Amino acid sequence: MAGEAPGAIHGWGCTPTGDTTPALAGDNPKPGCLPVLLRGWRKTALFCILALLMVLIFLNIGLTLWIISSLKLRMGGFGPINIVKGGLELQGQAFVMDNLVASSISSSAGQPITVHSHRNFTVVVTEPERKETAKLVLKRDSIECSGRMFEVRDALGGEVFRASHDEVRVFSDSLAVDGPGGLAVKTAVQTPSVRAPPGSDLQLESLTRHLELIAPQSIHLESRAGGIDVMAHSNIKLDSVVGALKIDTPSIYISNLKEAVKTESAPPTKHLRPQKVYQLCACASGKLFLAAADASCAANNADTDFCR
């Protein structure tokens, strides 16, 4: 080509022309002659980082949506739990794996509440110092309650039953014990009245020891439709320290008394029918016996075992 200087390089850039130039034959080629893949490595790395970030972003969005759908999160709560004023409202069942701390647990209006446990259910009330003050344990076959006092109240708030370390009180009109064994008490029972249900008998019994009825003023025994039986294996003693023993009844019957031998014979009376009438006599020891009506109230001197 005219006007070209001798030794000029033909072609554009690195386009080979078939001539070897001193510049291409050197040890340090020009930067513009590197391969195309190595020419934009910074842009390629940037594109790869952006693509990886986009994948991570979409993965996070997918995981977030999956968590929201699994837990059923919403503005008012999550799942069956609703956030209401003053606490949480649960619809359905809840499984507590460890401990549940709450100030109160109540059911909805007209709906029951059921607490189920595979082993036992424990309710503990503690103080800020973490000291147990009251504890209720519901086991498989028993109920244990520990605390200073145990109270049972009715629907109106009135006391029905109270138990403490010192005493046990029943505030109802009556305490009924339905069972063949009755009520067994090891120490003492304090009550204003003891009565049996209608149609049943009342028995006060001590199997191995003695039975005492003690009152500061008086003891009243009453049977309105039947009798009163007092039985003992040994003696029955009625003792009054200051007053007297008063029996107010139109008739007194004492059976199985010994009869004294008639010591004096009265003249027979033909016009009178024989009547079985006796005198009630007493020995010096207090033992009672019967004597004939027309005889002296004395036992035979020969019978030494009569008044013993």
H/E/C letters for each residue in the chain?
Answer: CCCCCCCCCCCCCCCCCCCCCCCCCCCCCCHHHCCHHHHCHHHHHHHHHHHHHHHHHHHHHHHHHHHHHHHCEECCEECCEEEECCEEEECCCCCCCCCCCCCCCCCCCCCCCCCCCCCCEEEEEECCCCCEEEEEEECCCCEEEECCEEEEECCCCCEEEEEECCCEEECCCCCCCCCCCCCCCCCCCCCCCCCCCCCCCCCCCCCCCCCCCCCCCCCCCCCCCCCCCCCCCCCCCCCCCCCCCCCCCCCCCCCCCCECCCCCCCCCCCCCCCCCCEEEEECCCCCEEEEECCCCCCCCCCCCCCCC
Better-scored residue on pLDDT, 160 or 295? 160
Better-scored residue on pLDDT, 38 or 225? 225
Sheet holding 73-74, edge to edge: 73-74, 77-78, 81-84, 87-90
pLDDT band at 302 (very low <50, low <70, confident <90, very high): low
Cα pseudo-dihedral 32, 33, 35, 40, rounded to 10: 0
Question: Which residue range forms the structural domain that includes residue 170?
Answer: 121-174
pLDDT band at 102 (very low <50, low <70, confident <90, very high): confident
Contacts of 21 (CB under 8 A, 6+ apart): 7, 9
179, 170 contact by CB (below 8 A): no
* 198 domain-assigned: no
* 218 domain-assigned: no
Interval 244-252 mean pLDDT:
80
% of residues, the chain, pLDDT over 70: 79
Cα–Cα dist 161/269, whole Å: 73
Averaged pLDDT of the chain: 76
pLDDT at 25 over 50: no
* 131 domain-assigned: yes
* 162 domain-assigned: yes
* 216 domain-assigned: no
300, 263 contact by CB (below 8 A): yes
% of residues, the chain, pLDDT over 90: 6
Return the pLDDT at 52. Answer: 95
Indicate the residue among 174, 207, 242 that finishes a domain.
174
Instruction: Report the number of distinct structural domains present in the chain.
Output: 3
pLDDT at 8 over 60: no
**Closest to 202 measured CA to CA, from 210, 193, 191:** 193
pTM of the model: 0.41
pLDDT band at 267 (very low <50, low <70, confident <90, very high): low
* 207 domain-assigned: no
Interval 173-202 mean pLDDT:
76
* 49 domain-assigned: yes
Return the pLDDT at 271. Answer: 52
* 232 domain-assigned: no
pLDDT band at 12 (very low <50, low <70, confident <90, very high): very low
